[in-house]
A and B are shown apart, each in its own frame.
Chain A
Amino acid sequence: MDLVTLIAAVPPEPSPLTIGLRAVAVLCGLGAGLAVILVLSDYFFASYGECKIDVNNGAKEYTVQGGLTLLNALAEQKLFIPSACGGQGTCSYCKVKVLSDIGPILPTEMGQLTRLERKQNIRLSCQIKVKGDLRIEVPEEYFAIQEFRCEVLSNKQVTDDIVEIQFKLVEPDRMKFQAGKYVQVRIPRDEGLRRMRGVFGKYDFTGFNERKIDLEKVPKEKFINRAYSMSNSPGRDDIVELDVRIAPPPRETPDAPPGFASSYIWSLKEGEEVWVTGPYGDFFIKETENPKIFIGGGAGMAPMKAMILELFEVRKTTCTVKFFYGARAKKDIFYTDIFQKIADEHENFEYTVALSEPAPDDHWDGPTEFVHLTVEKALKDFGYVGNEYYLCGPPLMVDACTAMLAQKNVPESDVAFDKF
């Protein structure tokens, strides 16, 4: 067989290798081509140029890059709208009134807006996008919300499951606020996930299975914000102090991951840099001379302590103040010395602790019951109506107290609370 016939015998079909190479080339080409088209179209079509946002009828005007969500666009301009869920559309804190027409309510907003709010053009700023000039209205106090660079000053455990952490404000170095307000701590997502592993007080999370973390449920943003009430007196405006309870996995699923934000805060060491925004919230003491009753439980201590310190250190109040604190056992009580000192120095302050299940070696002779029952008994002679009530604690405690107060005909407007 000579060479010519050999070449002629080669079938015209391309070899499997050529076909394979072609396939790879075509798929890569197709994928790359379409990707380029998408990137270009995103660049050309999804850029809305510069948009003007007019806040509160000319009070502030910002020029932002269009295409972002309203929440993020405003945050870039240092106007911080409260948002505890980090833009997921679940906490419904980020409501703003939009005066311009930006289209119908989105399906993701539906569940968070009441019928009345929909009528008033209230929208979730984390869901709507800035695509043109906008006019919006936000509560005046949002302008006072700033972003603070802080340094961890101290981090000390005060009970089995609560730490008191102090941040020193660095830039800006002062925060003006009313007691009862909260701040949002900014937690880097990846670092936060890493720090879940560790020993926190009596809890040892070093052995938990990281694969149990459902990464789909952790927000994708680089930073995740979590809200905590401040416990320092407004007189100390150079620090932010928080009481943070560790969140161990629920009893029925002991191998679930621990709380994301609480383990991060527990793991913070002196000198570390932390970013917070604040002050947020509408939980504060009214400017009246009525007797003030504070009822707290667990880490709900934080705003209670701030409010009582504000009353006695800043306002030098003369009205009657009673503080009831509910805990499980003696080991869960903290800040006793602070309140004991105020009680010793001021006749108008009274501090009562109720334990629901004191340990046998607590030698507890105080009230042994849920705190709302203690309040009910203690106020029998004093009277229930005419006082202002400030509640902060676990939802069950707050619900029990509000139900008890409603039964005593205390008007709802006299009961302020912060559930968490």
Chain B
Amino acid sequence: MVPEIGADAAPYIIFIAAIFTNNILLSNFLGMCSFLAISNQIKASFGLGMAVTFVLTMTATINWVVNAYVLIPLKIEYLQFIAFIIVIAALVQFVEIVIERFSPALYFALGIFLPLITVNCAILGVCLFMVRRHYTFAQALGYGVGSGLGWMLAIVAIAGIRHKLRFSNVPKPLEGVGITMILAGLMAFAFMGFAGMVDIK
């Protein structure tokens, strides 16, 4: 019997579920574009994963506040998409400015990936799921961090596999993106093995 997690789940359970059973990349297939583009280098994948985790944590919490204290009281929830996107875009800019100033090392590590995250659909996806599932603030935080780490886990794992694949004879028509799509599918199957742990709706 799989424990089913409702809206009252503990934040740490949501955190673990977001990494394994409900991996944003492999179960919702969000954030695929940068996933396919970057996953040929392990180092870059790790950098992008770090950046996504960072921004997801920040946007999930801030958008939760915006939703709970601005959109819902004013009964304009239908603006969630546009409001969330504005917040994400501004936040990414802000984070970039701050990191560049205070941690040049991290800034160089994240490099070009930071601004790219603005258009990563996994970020908006997490914000929307969080609202639809009526998470509390702590749950949203757990979900944000977990989704980011899950995304990083998936992309680094795929990058590792693609690295190994360099020495394999991939059929000509499947080279590049083709084989990566198949890999992503197989990875998704593999991650379904975690499904017995917890399940969040």
Contacts and interface: CB of A to CB of B under 8 A. Distances in A.
Chain A interface main SS type: helix
B79 A103 contact: no
Contacts of B102: 45
A27 B98 CA distance: 25
Contact of A26 (B76, B93, B105): B76
A38 B86 contact: no
Contacts of B97: 38, 41-42, 45-46
A217 B102 CA distance: 33
Contacts of A41: 94, 97-98
B119 interface: no
Contacts, number: 55
Contact of B98 (A22, A34, A45, A104): A45
A14 interface: yes
Contacts of A106: 108, 111
Given A30-B83, A41-B97, A107 B111 contact: yes
Contacts of B200: none
A26 B73 CA distance: 12
Contacts of B98: 41, 45
Contacts of A35: 90
Contacts of A30: 66, 70, 83, 86-87
B112 A107 contact: yes
A23 B66 CA distance: 13
Contacts of B1: none
Interface string B83-112: 100110010011001101110110010011
B71 interface: yes
Contacts of A22: 74-76
Nearest to B44: A107
A329 B112 CA distance: 51
Interface string A5-16: 000000000100
A31 interface: yes
Nearest to B89: A34
B86 A19 contact: no
Interface of B: 66, 70-71, 74-76, 79, 82-83, 86-87, 90, 93-94, 97-98, 100-102, 104-105, 108, 111-112
28 contacts: A19-B75, A22-B74, A23-B79, A26-B70, A26-B74, A26-B83, A27-B82, A27-B83, A30-B66, A30-B86, A34-B86, A34-B87, A34-B90, A37-B90, A37-B94, A38-B90, A38-B94, A45-B98, A45-B100, A45-B101, A45-B102, A46-B97, A46-B100, A46-B101, A103-B104, A103-B108, A104-B108, A106-B108
